[in-house]
């Protein structure tokens, strides 16, 4: 009975090739939406700065701009993490299929 010895480097290369996946359109759009949310948060903060001098911080518009900037910052963070995540492919790939692609 022959014994096959595979080094950990070769096994790691195989796993990287088998698990490599391009980002889907949904993941790319999540990253783009995250950047857009950060931009909206900055715009809300600028609007808050401008309106707080005119209306004061006790006005409902100031409160809504503050809440909107808080919301957009954290939604932007979550969507950016989703867009940058390395989500593996869960397809079952045999070793012969990977060798044929090389």
* Tens digit of each residue's pLDDT (9 = 90 or more) over 20-30: 567 888 899 99
Q: What's the start-to-end Cα distance of the chain, in Å?
A: 28
In this predicted structure, the answer to whether residue 4 has a pLDDT above a threshold of 80 is no
The pLDDT, as a whole number, for residue 87 is 77
* Tens digit of each residue's pLDDT (9 = 90 or more) over 24-67: 888 999 999 999 999 999 999 999 999 988 888 888 999 999 99
Position 92 confidence tier, pLDDT thresholds 50, 70, 90? confident
H helical segments located in the chain: 8-19, 25-55, 60-84, 95-101
pTM (2 d.p.): 0.65
């Amino acid at each position: 009975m022959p014994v096959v010895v595979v080094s950990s480097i070769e096994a790691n290369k195989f796993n990287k090739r088998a698990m490599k996946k391009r980002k889907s359109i949904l993941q790319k759009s999540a990253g783009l939406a995250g950047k857009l949310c950060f931009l909206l948060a900055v715009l809300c903060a600028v609007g808050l700065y401008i309106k707080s001098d005119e209306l004061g911080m006790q006005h409902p518009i100031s409160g809504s701009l503050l809440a909107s900037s808080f919301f957009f910052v954290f939604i932007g963070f979550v969507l950016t993490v989703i867009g940058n995540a390395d989500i593996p492919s869960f397809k079952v790939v045999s070793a012969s299929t990977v060798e044929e692609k090389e």
